[in-house]
């Protein structure tokens, strides 16, 4: 029974081979990260991007780092400049680089140095449909995902779109690390429920750190 009790209270949970949920890992840095996000959004405002099919995505996005992920009629890709301004994306703040590296290391991926950070802002009702992250060059590198503000139900699927997806709750300060054999799993998030969080108000912010180039 001691073992069960330990498993239930360990904040760092393996979800699947290559995937680990670090509950509360970013909690101490949350306010500072949100200040960083605000400064980034002042230079590269959140915007709704369009899918190649021409549909506006419900989630609003920005980026920081030497590369930023975009979607438009020409497809999904990483670019060095914000297409709205023509300027380079704001740099990745050192605090965020350190946090992402520490989380990756804790999950078994040492020496992770991201060059891209996609920032997603969800309002109530917005969702992310099932997808794979496959626009990066090097699938040996993991993805580190930081959740802030309102909690959401994350869908964690398999390597085929039709595989049944598990559900897990991502809350303020949680970090999900995702690499190795889990790197190409399908995933998404259910529509965000109404609510207010003291740190973010009526939204959820998700940062995903990647080695894109
Ligand atoms: C989100 N996250 O949590 C969307 N991708 O809002 C992702 O799409 C994601 O959390 C790859 C790895 C971790 C993620
Ligand atoms: Fe993703």
pLDDT tens sequence across 13-28: 899 999 999 999 999 9
Task: Identify the H or E element spanning 43.
Answer: helix 30-43
Mutate which of 71, 126, 208 for ligand 1? The one with the most ligand atoms within 8 Å of its CB, which is 208
| Contact yes or no for 186/130 (Cβ under 8 A) | yes
Nearest ligand to the C-alpha atom of residue 153: 1
**Residue bearing the bigger pLDDT, 121 or 7:** 121
The reply to whether ligand 1 has any atom less than 6 angstroms from the CB of 141 is no
Spatial distance between the Cα atoms of 136 and 213, rounded to a whole number of angstroms:
7
User: What does the pLDDT read at residue 2?
Assistant: 53
Position 85 scores a pLDDT of: 98
| 128 half-sphere exposure, CB direction, 13 A CA radius | 23
Residue 7 has pLDDT above 90, yes or no: no
Given a cut of 70, is residue 68 above it in pLDDT?
Answer: yes
Q: What share of the chain in percent tops pLDDT 90?
A: 94
Q: Given this model, what pLDDT does residue 5 score?
A: 61
Q: Is the pLDDT of residue 202 over 90?
A: yes
- Give the global pTM: 0.95
Backbone angles phi, psi at 84, to 5 degrees: -75, -30
pLDDT average, residue stretch 89-118: 98
Rounded mean pLDDT, 191-210: 98
- Over residues 200-207, the mean pLDDT reads 98
**Domains detected in the chain:** 2-210 (2.60.120.590)
Res 92 pLDDT > 80: yes
Mean pLDDT of 201-207: 98
| Measured CA angle at 64 (ends 17, 68), to 5 deg | 75
Ligand 1 pocket residue status of 189, Cβ below 6 Å: yes
> Distance between CA 24 and CA 107 in Å, rounded?
14
- Say yes or no to pLDDT of 1 above 90: no
Radius of gyration from C-alpha coordinates of the chain: 16
pLDDT band at 6 (very low <50, low <70, confident <90, very high): low
Task: Give the residue whose CA is nearest to atom 12 of ligand 1.
Answer: 143
**Tens of pLDDT along 117-169?**
999 999 999 999 999 999 999 999 999 999 999 999 999 999 999 999 999 99
Task: Read off the tokens for 102.
Answer: 């520490």
- Establish whether residue 126 lines the binding site of ligand 1, counting it when its CB lies within 6 angstroms of any ligand atom: no
User: Looking at residue 10, what is its pLDDT?
Assistant: 81
Residue 155 near ligand 1, beta carbon < 6 Å: no
Residue 110 has pLDDT above 80, yes or no: yes
């Amino acid at each position: 029974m001691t073992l069960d009790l330990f498993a239930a209270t360990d904040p760092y949970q393996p979800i699947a081979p290559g995937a680990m949920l670090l509950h509360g890992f970013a909690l101490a840095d949350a306010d500072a990260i949100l200040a960083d996000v605000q400064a980034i959004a002042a230079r590269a405002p959140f915007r709704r991007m369009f899918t190649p099919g021409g549909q506006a995505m419900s989630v609003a996005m920005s980026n920081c780092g030497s590369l930023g992920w975009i979607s438009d009629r020409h497809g999904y890709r990483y670019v060095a400049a914000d297409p709205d301004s023509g300027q380079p994306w704001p740099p990745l703040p050192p605090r965020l680089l350190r946090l992402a590296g520490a989380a990756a290391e804790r999950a078994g991926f040492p020496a992770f140095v991201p060059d891209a950070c996609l920032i997603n802002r969800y309002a109530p009702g917005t969702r992310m449909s099932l997808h794979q992250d496959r626009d990066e060059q090097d699938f040996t590198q993991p993805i580190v995902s930081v959740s802030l503000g309102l909690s959401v139900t994350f869908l964690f699927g398999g390597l085929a779109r039709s595989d049944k997806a598990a559900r897990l709750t991502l809350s303020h300060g949680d970090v999900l690390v995702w690499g190795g054999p889990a790197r190409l799993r399908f995933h998404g998030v259910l529509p965000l429920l109404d609510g207010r969080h003291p740190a973010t108000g009526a939204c959820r912010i998700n940062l995903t750190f990647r080695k894109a180039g």
